[in-house]
Amino acid sequence: MNARVAHGVFGYTTPPAELRDAIVERLARRYNWAVDPAWIVFLPGVVPGLHVSARRLLAPEEHALLPTPLYQHFKRALELAPRAHSEIPLVLENGRWVFDLDRLRRGRTAKTRVLYLCNPQNPGGTVFRRDELARLAELAAGCVIVSDEIHCDLLLDEAARHVPIASLAPEISRRTVTLMSANKAFNIPSAGCAWAVVEDPQLREAMSLDVRAHVLPSPSVFGYAATLAALREGDAWLAAQLEYLRGNRDLVARELPLPMAPVQATYLAWIDCTELPVADAHEHFLRHGVALSPGAQFGAPRFVRLNFGTQRARLRQALERMRTALPSAG
């Protein structure tokens, strides 16, 4: 970033070829996923990519499936487009939030054109397995899959592996749009750079249109520089950060006597407050000095989401305040 600032010329730019190469190399090395550099479409963020997908991949009368609870911008993108959609709840099975295939199947209509996927899952923290993804892709046969994989480098469960759904089979790759970015893993969202991997030329055209027409901005020179630096030179930093986040995850699990599924990935704990005798858990913890994300934002009002991607001392303080807020503390 310093080198880019020292360069001194900040005119309009195009995506650097070495960034495409760094992405291709990373996806092959980490996920065994062979991607052609030409399949990469640069976007200013993953969320803009969700909005583009809702508007450009779905005709006004078409319908999408959303496995919920889910990062709020998926639903927001469909509401603003606006496009019809059905929310299908995930189910908690053996400590993991997983797809309810029967309900998803029943939720499909003749107009269903897109299935949205968030893998690793925000807020549930699940890393979906190859067999689970294969069954999901089969269920969504004939549909486009829009897969937000922004948390793929944030795996805390050392036994889990991230599997890009598009990497499962050529047939699945041809109908998948995978949204990715260095924004979460390296905490550089204000740099503003993300990308979609899209093999099919028609889908790629649809995902490219808005940036090419300047409806959306291209990533800035700083977004490209920050992303390239992160992907090329950030692995040791990322490994150290993951160790730290694992420590934070363990602290949350140990210190907070509320039900939550073990967090396989992300720095987010999805906490079940069903048994808490308060009308609004988010409000309740806020009154005790902890600002959590309200579960209603993700479609589950009895839950709250804790972001533990922070200094351990601050996390300890938050957990202490949360414990004080529990009825047993009274």
Ligand X SMILES: Cc1ncc(COP(=O)(O)O)c(C=O)c1O
Interface residues toward ligand X, by CB under 6 A: 45-47, 71, 118, 122, 148, 150, 181, 183-184, 189, 194
Question: 26 vs 89, 152, 234, 296, CA distance in Å?
Answer: 33, 12, 12, 36
Residue 154 CB, shortest distance to ligand X, in Å, is 10
Q: Which is nearer to ligand X, 173 or 181 (CB)?
A: 181
Which residue has the CB atom at the shortest distance from ligand X?
A: 45
Q: Which is nearer to ligand X, 98 or 194 (CB)?
A: 194
Where do the H-state alpha helices sit in the chain? 2-7, 17-31, 46-56, 73-80, 101-107, 130-139, 170-173, 201-212, 221-233, 235-255, 281-287, 312-324
Q: Is 75 helix (H, G, I), strand (E, B) or coil?
A: helix
DSSP for 28-56?
HHHH-----GGGEEEES-HHHHHHHHHHH
Residue 59 CB, shortest distance to ligand X, in Å, is 24
Residue 73 CB, shortest distance to ligand X, in Å, is 6
Q: Which is nearer to ligand X, 226 or 325 (CB)?
A: 226
Q: Is 115 helix (H, G, I), strand (E, B) or coil?
A: strand
Q: Which is nearer to ligand X, 195 or 325 (CB)?
A: 195
Question: 311 vs 262, 265, 317, CA distance in Å?
Answer: 20, 18, 10
Residue 195 CB, shortest distance to ligand X, in Å, is 10
Q: Which residues pair with 92 in a beta bridge?
A: 97
Residue 226 CB, shortest distance to ligand X, in Å, is 12
Query: What is the DSSP-derived secondary structure letter of residue 216?
Result: S
Q: Which is nearer to ligand X, 144 or 194 (CB)?
A: 194
Residue 61 CB, shortest distance to ligand X, in Å, is 27
Q: Which is nearer to ligand X, 145 or 325 (CB)?
A: 145
Q: Is 262 helix (H, G, I), strand (E, B) or coil?
A: coil
